[in-house]
Structure 1
Amino acid sequence: MLKLSILDQSPVSSGFTHSEALQQTIALAQLADRLGYTRFWVSEHHNSAGLAGSSPEVFLSTLAARTNRIRLGSGGVLLPHYSAYKVAENFRMLEALYPGRIDLGIGRAPGGTPHTAKALRGVGADLFEGLERFPAQVTDLLRFLTDSVEPGHVFEGIRATPLVASMPQVWLLGSTGQSGVYASQAGAAFCFAHFINGAGGQHAVRSYRSSFQPSALNVVPQATVCIYVLCAETTAEAEELATSIDLRILQMEKGEFTGVKSPKEAAEYTYSDWDQTRVRDNRSRMIVGSPSLVREQILLLAESYGVDEVMIVAGGYLAETRMRTVELLAEAFELSHQHSYVI
């Protein structure tokens, strides 16, 4: 059976606050936990009016305390901004508190503007130098997580605390093949962000599998794909609600990082010819429709990627719309029959 998981970016819809968006994410995680989803990830974005999640490692502690069995993770920690050692300690702490439930997803995107990146790293920091250091940072992070700092290394004798018997599952996230290369070299799991880049993901995952190097993290490659999904009782209803996602993606492409607009606001928006072309093209990053149609499209997507798990970004203006997508998919894939857990 195909496994389903969720990435939630804590979107801030127009007319709502950041605090309300975070509470909506908590409610969505609790629902996913009850319905049998495999994992629930939260993202990291900075200086964004439209996305409330800036600190996944802090948020995960709250989510873990309010759920029972679902795996929880970062989608993902933007490693170039931080010390690999501190990231290892943060996630060892989460693993110590909630053993067997923590995923450490890492990415190399800035998660904001270059100006914001300077605020995160320090005024004199070089953004491009941080990206170039990413492979070395990944290696250091894995050294700390697996207690495998070599004798004579500059970090010899340093261990990430707390000292725990288990470790979080490590994922590398990306929307290009390069992230898959890093994941295969590290022996980490790989998640392709189809919701960011609707082309080339299948090739990236195939390349990741073919060049995968077994490690202390994974003996065999593990991959998943993440895509926008909006599901409603009918395809016509889903299409109307999906206009909010269409406009949000378009506005992000144009550098307009405002909140999610309502379907009414989307209908009133003035679209240029270029805008309309982008909206049509961006549908490759989304699956929209009735439960039967969405189920069919998700299965085809999984088959094309060769994966046994698909992660969704539930889209829509209202939290109720996103929660209904999650409910309808759980019914369509009979997720409750795949898991046994205590509520």
Structure 2
Amino acid sequence: MKKIKLSILDQSQIRRNGTAKQALNDSGELVQLAEKLGYTRYWVSEHHNFKMLAGTAPEVLIPYLASKTTKIKVGSGGIMLPNHSAFKVAEIFGLLETLYPNRIDLGVGRAPGGDRMSSYLLNPSNAFSEKEYYQQLTDLKGFLRHEETPETVHEKVKSYPKPDVIPNLWILSSSGGSARFAAHFGIGLSFAQFINPDGGAETAAFYRENFKPSPELKEPKVNVGIFAFCSENEQKVKDWITEFDYRLLHIESGASGELPSLEEIKAMKYNLNQKARIAYNKGRYIAGNPEKLKASIEKIATDYQTDEVMVATICDDFDDRKKSYELLAKLFLES
């Protein structure tokens, strides 16, 4: 197996009883730690109408993070393309790549990044159709490349500034369907196991089998995202699992209130449907001591036949969150 690279997905978590400003300050501190520890890339996500996360605009957060670092790749994981104009996304990321050469990743997805009403307000013409998403991807690459395709908008309209090299392009997938687009356009594939624990390895295999080289990417490239928590303290691991099992149920139920305390969560009694969902969601995260996490990450890398695993750690104790990333770095990133 190749040496495993680690990256970070930061969902701009607002801590319990915390603020959005604190969450964004946490991101600024965490990206600097990630660079120091040797993480490959640092992505931020796009969410709307969801008070527990502060990341509504990756295009704003990315330059803030890039300005605090010097070499780690920063980018979107992802821009929810149907919420936006492909032309405007090309302008924004062309500008980011010009400001921070060879450091910008443009990961795009087709999920709403929230509820359908929010997505409609962002883009009233959004039809949530595969045909429109395909056209947006076609236009996005066309604008970034400054294509001159006859009898299309690209004949007369160009995206400026034009960077020397276009940003690294990725397509996000959680259901598997978007792997077809990634393979067709010759774009990297990022599978979100933290959203869907099933079918990821098969999706990656399909993508590789159908991959068509592009000017930007000659061979298929895959990474996989997973929620994770690592600690040498057994009780902290148990408490994190207890809270995170509930946190996922809380989100899936559409609850908008504050999370209960850990003590309240421990006292909860779950019905059969909730227990079944908790069991299913355990495939979306890995948690344990360094030895267990090493084995888990190596298995994920083997299953997906990739050398890059992207970790998202949600934890109310910021010191524990940083420590988790430090322990993972010791496992894989130190020579």
Q: Under TM normalisation by the shorter chain, which class is it?
A: over 0.9
Aligned to 1:103: 105
Tell me the residue number matched to 1:227: 226
Q: Which moved more, 1:80-89 or 1:270-279?
A: 270-279
Distance 1:63 1:302, change over 3 A: same
In the alignment, what sits opposite 1:245? 244
* In 2, Cα distance between equivalents of 1:128 and 1:165: 33
The alpha-carbon deviation at position 262 of structure 1 amounts to 4.8
Query: Is 1:332 the counterpart of 2:331 in the alignment?
Result: yes
Bigger drift between 288-297 and 245-254 goes to 245-254
| Cα distance in structure 1, aligned partners of 2:169 and 2:262 | 37
Which residue pairs with 2:56 in the alignment? 54
Q: Is the 8 A contact 2:44 2:77 kept in 1?
A: yes
| Residues 126, 224 of structure 1: alpha-carbon distance in 2 compared, 3 angstrom cutoff | closer
- For the residue of structure 1 that corresponds to 2:152, the secondary structure is coil
Candidates 84, 87, 102, aligned match of 1:85: 87
Q: 1:84 to 1:250 in 2, by over 3 A?
A: same
Structure 1 counterpart of 2:68: 66
Q: Does 1:274 align with 2:273?
A: yes
Q: Determine the C-alpha separation between the residues in 1 that align with 2:196 and 2:243.
A: 19
By how many angstroms is 1:257 displaced?
A: 4.2
Aligned to 1:340: none
Q: Distance in 1 between matches of 2:127 and 2:52?
A: 23
Alignment partner, residue 18 of structure 2: 16
How far did residue 13 of structure 1 move? 2.5
Checking the alignment, whether the CA contact within 8 Å between 2:290 and 2:328 is kept in structure 1 is yes
Given the two structures, how large is their TM-score scaled by the length of structure 2? 0.95
> Which of 7, 11, 26 is 2:9 aligned to?
7
Which residue does 1:304 correspond to in 2?
Answer: 303
Q: Residues of 1 paired with 2:143 and 2:101: CA distance? A: 17
Q: CA deviation at 1:214?
A: 0.4
Post-superposition Cα deviations, 1:184-208, rounded to whole Å, max 9, x if no partner, equal 0110000000000000000000000
Show the 5 A alignment for 1:142-291.
142-258=141-257, 262-291=261-290
Give the root-mean-square deviation of aligned CA atoms.
1.5
**Inter-partner Cα distance in structure 1 for 2:126 and 2:313:** 35
Residue of structure 2 equivalent to 1:341: none
Q: Which moved more, 1:145-154 or 1:90-99?
A: 145-154
Paired letter, 2:79: V
Query: Partners in 2 of 1:270 and 1:12 — Cα distance?
Result: 26
For the pair 1:320 / 2:319, whether they are aligned, the reply is: yes
Q: CA deviation at 1:127?
A: 3.7
- What does residue 39 of structure 1 align with? 41
Distance 1:112 1:273, change over 3 A: same
Q: How far apart, in 2, do the equivalents of 1:225 and 1:185 lie?
A: 19
Question: What is the TM-score with the length of structure 1 in the denominator?
Answer: 0.93
User: When the two structures are aligned, how many residues end up with a matched partner?
Assistant: 333
Shift of 1:242: 2.4
Give, in whole Å, the separation in 1 of the partners of 2:317 and 2:92. 32
Structure 1 segments unaligned to the other structure (5+ residues)? 338-343
Q: Which digits, 9 at most, give the CA deviation of each residue in 1:172-194, with x for residues without a partner? A: 00101111111001100000000
Write out the 4+ residue segments of structure 1 that deviate beyond 4 Å after TM superposition.
Answer: 257-262
1:28 aligned residue: 30
**1:236: how far off?**
4.1
Aligned amino acid, residue 128 of structure 2? F
Cα distance in structure 2, aligned partners of 1:158 and 1:164:
16
Structure 1 stretch 27-36 or stretch 145-154: which is displaced more?
145-154
Structure 2 distance, partners of 1:84, 1:126, is 12
Offset at residue 26 of structure 1 (A): 1.4
CA apart distance, 1:266? 2.5
Distance 1:262 1:68, change over 3 A: farther
How many Å apart are 1:299 and its aligned residue? 0.3
